Amino acid sequence: MPLLTICKYPGCRRPVARGEKYCEKHKEAGSKREELQKRERWERRFRKKGSSAARGYGARWRRLRERFLSEHPLCEECLKQGRAVPATDVDHIRPHKGNEDLMWDEENLQALCHACHSRKTAAEDGGFGNIKTSLPAPETAELEYAEKF
């Protein structure tokens, strides 16, 4: 009797040999999906770890961020190129890396749109490509900061 199981791809019930997870048709899609899930789990854990420790910083930062954005409603990078784009992110011009002076110094802040902010943090991290550095920067900064306490 052949040992069969069914393809683990959602919605697919095709039989596959035991030991295989997916049918021929879903081999590639299935492993891609697993990668994605692994990454999501990893990111969730990463966020959870910092959230309670970062709460103090989080509330203060949120207030500063909201006020800063209300005073600087347009993306400063886009403005330099003559485009008026609503700012959504507050960026540290020099990465603060846990340094409180840089962290809370409003001279060191600039309002950016999401696209400009991603571009800047990608450049700072040395490019795309691995899971760790492609996390959104504010989260990363928050965690680095939190770990000091």
Give the binding site for Zn ion (CB under 5 A).
Answer: 7, 9, 12, 14, 23, 26, 75, 77-78, 85, 113, 116
Type of residue found at 24: E
In the complex, least distance from residue 18 CB atom to Zn ion, rounded to whole angstroms: 15
Q: Between residues 113 and 137, which has the closer beta carbon with respect to Zn ion?
A: 113
The position carrying tokens 């809370």 is 104
In the complex, least distance from residue 37 CB atom to Zn ion, rounded to whole angstroms: 17
Helix axes 55-71 and 137-146, enclosed angle (nearest 10): 140
Render 37-55 in DSSP notation, one character per residue.
Answer: HHHHHHHHHHHHHHHTTTH
Burial code of 97-127, b = ≥16 C-beta within 10 A, e = fewer? Answer: eeeeebbeeeebbbbbbeebbbebbeeebee
Q: Between residues 14 and 62, which has the closer beta carbon with respect to Zn ion?
A: 14
Please tell me what DSSP assigns to residue 107. G
In the complex, least distance from residue 63 CB atom to Zn ion, rounded to whole angstroms: 23
In the complex, least distance from residue 74 CB atom to Zn ion, rounded to whole angstroms: 8
Q: Between residues 54 and 113, which has the closer beta carbon with respect to Zn ion?
A: 113
Q: Between residues 2 and 45, which has the closer beta carbon with respect to Zn ion?
A: 2
Structure-block tokens of residue 41? 């789990």
